[in-house]
Amino acid sequence: MATGKPEHTCVVGLAWGDEGKGKIVDLLGERFDVVVRYNGGANAGHTIIVGNEKYAVHLLPTGLLRPNIAGVIGPGVVVDPVELLEEIDALANRGIDVAARLRISDRAHVVMPYHKIMDSLSEAAESGKRKIGTTARGIGPCYSDKMLRSTAVRMADLTELQRHRDRIKEIVALRKRAFAAMYGDDGNLSFDAVWESLQKAAKQLLPMISDTSSWLRHQIDEGKSLFFEGANGMLLDVDHGTYPYVTSSNTGPQGVAAGAGVPEGLVKRFVGVTKSYTTRVGSGPFPSELSDAIGDSIRDKGHEYGTTTGRPRRCGWLDAVAIRASVRLGGVSELAVTHLDTLSGFNHVGICVGYELDGNVQTESLPAGASAIERVKPVIEMLPGWTGELGQAKCIDDLPANAIAFVRRLEELVGAPVTIIGVGAEREQTITCNRLN
C-alpha cells in the first residue's frame, strides 16, 4: 500500500444497531480514498452532526459526507432507487454533491414497491411476540427474492430496463394475486405506477451503475485505501444474531468480502462500535433491558429514537456478554465507545457480565433460541457513576476517574482495547487514544 495510507478498515456495530457507527465512520473516513457500504438497505440509519448541521443517511455510505471520498454501494446491499435518489437530492440541496462520486454495483438487488407492501402486510398479519419489528422498508422481501432468483430485479436490469418489462409485469401480477389470497388486500399495487417509478429511477441512476467489484480491485492495485461501512449491528446478523428477530443480511465482518466484492482477508483492521449502554428497536429478547425510570432517563438523555423509523428505542445497561461474543466472532481489533456522556449523572452504572439460564451462568455468548434468551436473567455488575459535562474532554485523562474505570472494565470484559470515545453528538466531541492512526 502507498506510503502514508491507512490499512483497509471496517467499522461494524456490535449490538442491535444504533451504536453510533455513522459518527465513527465520519470520524475515521477522512484519511481514506473510498468508502464502501456492503450490506443491508434503507432500514439502516446513520446520523452525523457537524457544527450546527445534522445529516441523516440510510442508503448512502456515511463517508460520502467528506468531499474528497468516493463511495460504493456494493452487491450485498439491497437498493431502493426512489429512496436513494431522495437522499442524493437532499444532500445536493445542502451543497453536498455525491452523485459524481457514487458507484452502485450492477449486482445489487432492487427493492421494489411490492417488497415494501409485503413487509407491511405480513407484519400486520402477525400478532404479539411473533412480530419481527420490521422497519417496513422491504428489506426482508427483497432478500427473499434474491434467494428465490426468478422474481429478483437487480441494478443491472435497470441498465436495459425495456428488456425486462414483460417479466416485471408478470411479477407485479403474481404479487397482486398472492397479496389478495394471503392477506385479503392487494396493497393497491399497480404495474403502471411501478414501471413509471423504475423508468425515472433508471434514467437518473444509470451513470452510477457499474461493476464496482472490478473498480475496487483497480483501486486496491493502485494503492488506494478502502473503508468498509457496516449497516445494522452484529446481533442482527441473519446467521449469528438473535434469530428470528434479526435483519436479512450478514452485518459483521463476515459479510465484507461477499457484500463488497473484495478478496477474503483484505481487511486487517476491524473497529467495533458500542454505546456505553445497550439499545434495541422493535421486537426481540433483550437481557439487560431497563423497563423502569432509569431506562426512560437513558432514552431521554441519549435522544434514543430511531433515525429511520422514529420509534423509541428500548434501553438497558451495557451488555458485555453480547459485545464480547460479537468481538470474538468478528475478529474485532479495537472498540469505539459512544454516548459516554449520556451516563453522566447516574449514581451507579451497570454492566451485564453474565447470563443466568436454568441455574447456570455463562459469559461467552447468547443462546441460539429466542425463547432461551427471553428466560435469561442478567448478572449485573454495578460500578460507581460520575458527574459533569464530558463534551469538552480532549483526552481520556480529562474524564472523571469513575468514567475511566468504566471504560477500562469494559476492555477487561470484552478483550479488546478502547481507542475511540464519544463524549457528545458532534464530530469534534470525540476522544482518540491508543491506536487511531
Beta bridge mates, 314: 280
Whole-number Å distance between alpha carbons of 161 and 14:
39
Dihedral sign (CA 235, 310, 282, 293): positive
Cα distances from 253 to residues 19, 215, 234, 271, 384, in angstroms, run 16, 21, 9, 10, 34
Q: Contacts by 190-195 with C-beta closer than 8 Å and gap 24+? A: 193/113, 194/112, 194/113, 194/114, 194/168, 195/165, 195/168, 195/169
Helices (H) and strands (E) in the chain, counts: 13, 19
**Amino acid letter for position 65:** L
**What pLDDT sits at residue 180?**
93
Whole-number Å distance between alpha carbons of 231 and 39:
6
- Least Cα distance to 396 among 387, 384, 407 occurs for 407
DSSP H/E element including 205: helix 191-205
Q: How does pLDDT run across 124-134, given as a tens digit for each residue?
A: 776 555 555 56
Whole-number Å distance between alpha carbons of 282 and 284:
7
**What pLDDT sits at residue 214?**
98
Cell numbers that stand for 179 in this block: 397479496
Whole-number Å distance between alpha carbons of 78 and 140:
10
**What pLDDT sits at residue 2?**
41
Whole-number Å distance between alpha carbons of 273 and 23:
10
Cell numbers that stand for 206 in this block: 444509470
**Amino acid letter for position 211:** D
Residues of the chain with pLDDT under 70: 1-4, 51, 126-135, 307-309, 434-437
Beta strands in 358-410 (DSSP E): 360-362, 377-384
Q: How does pLDDT run across 188-236, given as a tens digit for each residue?
A: 999 999 999 999 999 999 999 999 999 999 999 999 999 999 888 999 9
**Amino acid letter for position 417:** P
Indicate the Cα dihedral angle 290, 291, 292, 297, nearest 10°: 60
CB of 311 within 8 A of CB of 372? no
Whole-number Å distance between alpha carbons of 243 and 255:
17
Whole-number Å distance between alpha carbons of 323 and 151:
37
**What pLDDT sits at residue 418?**
97
Residue with cell 435497470: 158
**What pLDDT sits at residue 104?**
98
Cell numbers that stand for 337 in this block: 465507545
- Least Cα distance to 57 among 271, 307, 295, 282 occurs for 307
**What pLDDT sits at residue 231?**
87
Dihedral sign (CA 116, 121, 125, 127): positive
SS3 68: coil
**What pLDDT sits at residue 136?**
74
**Cβ burial 384-420 (10 Å sphere, 16+ → b, else e):** ebbeeebeebeebeebbebbeebbebbeebbebebbb
Whole-number Å distance between alpha carbons of 403 and 434:
17
CA–CA–CA angle 293, 297, 299 (5° rounding) = 115
Cell numbers that stand for 35 in this block: 468508502
Cell numbers that stand for 244 in this block: 428470528
**What pLDDT sits at residue 391?**
92
Which residue numbers are catalytic? 18, 46
- Least Cα distance to 121 among 75, 29, 187, 213 occurs for 187
Cα distances from 301 to residues 195, 261, 294, 388, in angstroms, run 45, 40, 10, 14
**What pLDDT sits at residue 63?**
84
- Find the DSSP H helices in 57-164: 81-92, 113-125, 139-148, 155-158
246 CA to centre of own chain: 12
Whole-number Å distance between alpha carbons of 288 and 266:
35
